Amino acid sequence: MPILHFTGHARDRLRLYHLREDDIAEALAHADRRVDEGPQRPHIWRRRGDRWLRVAFVAGQRVVTIIAVEMLPTGPPDLEEADAGQEPPKRPSPSDLET
């Protein structure tokens, strides 16, 4: 596995979202989606519970530099387009939750 190097911005985001370096390594190894915005700016998406982890990075031969880390409520754009034609899930009302 390559060495992970985190920029200051990425480290700040790790603290903000209560993530660890291991979480990012796991996301890179098992990404749900990969989006290439250009040859030097790929990013990956990994679902974590009801949110999405987005990691922007620059990959070298031995070092992967993590540029940005975000936790977002929606997934990658291609996933949103696929879901656009579907009705969103209905939220249960309080009466539905009573037993």
pLDDT reported for residue 82: 46
More confident residue, 78 or 81: 78
96 pLDDT above the threshold of 80: no
Split at pLDDT 50, 70, 90, the class of 59 is confident
pLDDT reported for residue 70: 94
Sign of CA dihedral 5, 15, 28, 76: negative
Going from N- to C-terminal start, the domains of the chain cover: 3-75
Nearest residue to 16 (alpha-carbon basis) of 64, 71, 54: 71
Mean model confidence pLDDT for the chain? 81
pLDDT reported for residue 99: 44
First to last CA, the chain: 50
* CATH of span 3-75: 3.30.2310
